[in-house]
């Protein structure tokens, strides 16, 4: 499976016509938040870096040509490979469920700002063992890391129209993917694979552009969830076991014990992340601990009344490297939020949803979905800093 990636030879789409990037001036973080990765400045001269496309492919389930990304594109994963930035992104058509069927596309950039997209998606619902979980809502919101051998592991969300489930797929080249099913299928007799789960952020080392999954105390770790953020562990990056806390007794009988997931990061009353919190890009091991960039949603009643109802922004939290469920520090404010027209208006308004982080060209590049409609990038601190 060690083939050289040559998809750029068969690209049918056109390069996005945008002005050359102007890298914003970056200043250092203040001492009070020195553990955090700050600041990030939106690359306004090139944003959004990707929008809906006109490409079509022969869908194996609809048995006809589908314009698979004509409605919206958003929520990207990022991989640096062979000196280029590869973006795996969620794309929606106009013919699926209300909102469309989602598939995962692939685009490549030489500079991190201007992308050429592949004409067909690389991960999508098909006549396979996962069809019942993926059809017809689709495959959503990828995040990608690699192991020590260079194999890529994608966590993504399958949506059957009723329940979202966290899934795993692997690839040697980012084009051909092998689906491995629900991440929690084998844990606790599969009880978590039958309920809502998504947003898997695997704890990793960011090494010279590569995002390599890291073991802590002999286990791989992952943060997941889109109300609270919970944790899970794995021996192989494919089969995951959610971390449970103390059991809760069911009302029906004191003898019936219901599982209780251990909450790692929770929403905060009176804050911008009062409605929910959700994992962002793969978590990063730093000298200070585990840095998790996350997404939060505001609710006006009980949240931050100065911000719009339902606004999504980005936060950062630092966790213990020896106990990945222990929070050490947390930013009090969001460090990125919607303030551009394409972030405020779209399929879902008032959304900056962070999902892809790259060490590229000597700087950190943070990619995010805007209003569930387009994709943008923000430029972070110089890579020479502590991370």
- Tell me whether residue 17 is in a domain: no
Question: For the chain, which residues score pLDDT lower than 50?
Answer: 1-31, 249-256, 385-386
Domain assignment of residue 31, yes or no:
no
The pLDDT score that the predictor gives to residue 32 is 61
Instruction: Classify residue 335: in a domain, yes or no.
Output: yes
> CA-CA distance, 344 to 173, in Å (whole number)?
35
User: For residue range 97-129, what is the model confidence (pLDDT) as tens digits?
Assistant: 999 999 999 999 999 999 999 999 999 999 999
The range of the structural domain enclosing residue 176 comes to 37-382
Which candidate, 99, 89, 51, 92, places its Cα nearest to that of 68? 92
Is-contact 165 179, C-beta < 8 A?
no
Does any domain span residue 91? yes
Please answer whether residues 69 and 105 qualify as being in contact, where contact means their C-beta atoms are separated by less than 8 angstroms: yes
CATH code, domain with 170: 2.115.10.20
Q: How far is CA 356 from CA 17, 76, 376, in A?
A: 22, 6, 10
168: in domain: yes
In a domain, 183, yes or no: yes
Q: Is residue 23 part of a domain?
A: no
Tokens encoding 73: 């594109």
- Is the separation of the CB atoms in 279 and 200 below 8 Å? yes
Q: What is the pLDDT of residue 350?
A: 98
- Express the helix, strand and coil content of the chain in percent, nearest 5 each: 5, 40, 55
CA distance 284 to 332: 20
Query: Residue 182: inside a domain, yes or no?
Result: yes
DSSP one-letter code for 189: G
Q: Structurally, how many domains does the chain consist of?
A: 1
Q: How far is CA 22 from CA 40, 304, 305, in A?
A: 14, 33, 35
Q: Give pLDDT, residue 10.
A: 34
């Amino acid at each position: 499976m060690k083939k050289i990636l040559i998809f750029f030879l068969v690209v049918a789409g056109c390069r996005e016509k945008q002005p050359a990037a102007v890298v914003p001036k970056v200043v250092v973080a203040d001492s009070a938040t020195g553990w955090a990765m700050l600041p990030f400045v939106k690359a306004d001269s090139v944003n959004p870096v990707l929008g809906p496309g006109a490409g079509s492919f022969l869908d194996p389930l609809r048995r006809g040509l589908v314009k698979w990304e004509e409605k919206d594109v958003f929520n990207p994963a990022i991989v640096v490979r062979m000196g280029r930035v590869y973006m795996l992104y969620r794309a929606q058509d106009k013919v699926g469920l209300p909102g469309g069927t989602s598939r995962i596309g692939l685009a490549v950039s030489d500079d991190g700002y201007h992308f050429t997209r592949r004409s067909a998606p690389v991960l999508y619902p098909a006549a396979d063992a996962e069809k019942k979980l993926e059809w017809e809502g689709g495959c959503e919101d990828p995040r990608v890391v690699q192991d020590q051998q260079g194999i890529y592991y994608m966590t993504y969300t399958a949506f059957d129209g009723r329940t979202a489930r966290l899934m795993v797929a692997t690839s040697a080249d980012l084009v051909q993917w092998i689906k491995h099913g629900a991440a929690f299928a084998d844990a606790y007799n599969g009880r978590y694979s039958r309920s809502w789960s998504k947003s898997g952020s695997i704890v990793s080392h960011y090494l010279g552009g590569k995002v390599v999954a890291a073991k802590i105390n002999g286990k791989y770790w992952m943060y997941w969830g889109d109300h609270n953020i919970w944790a899970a562990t794995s021996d192989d990056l494919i089969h995951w076991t959610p971390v449970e806390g103390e059991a809760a007794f069911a009302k029906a009988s004191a003898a019936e014990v219901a599982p209780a997931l251990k909450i790692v990061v929770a929403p905060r009353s009176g804050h911008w992340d009062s409605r929910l919190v959700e994992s962002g890009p793969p978590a990063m091991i730093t000298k200070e601990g585990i840095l998790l960039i996350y997404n939060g949603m505001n609710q006006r009643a009980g949240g931050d009344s100065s911000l719009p109802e339902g606004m999504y922004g980005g936060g950062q939290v630092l966790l213990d490297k020896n106990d990945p469920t222990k929070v050490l520090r947390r930013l009090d404010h969001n460090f990125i939020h919607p303030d551009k027209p394409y972030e405020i208006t779209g399929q879902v308004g008032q959304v900056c949803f962070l999902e892809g982080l790259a060490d590229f060209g000597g700087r950190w590049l943070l990619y995010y979905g805007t209003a569930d409609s387009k994709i943008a990038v923000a430029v972070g601190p110089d890579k020479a800093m502590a991370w």
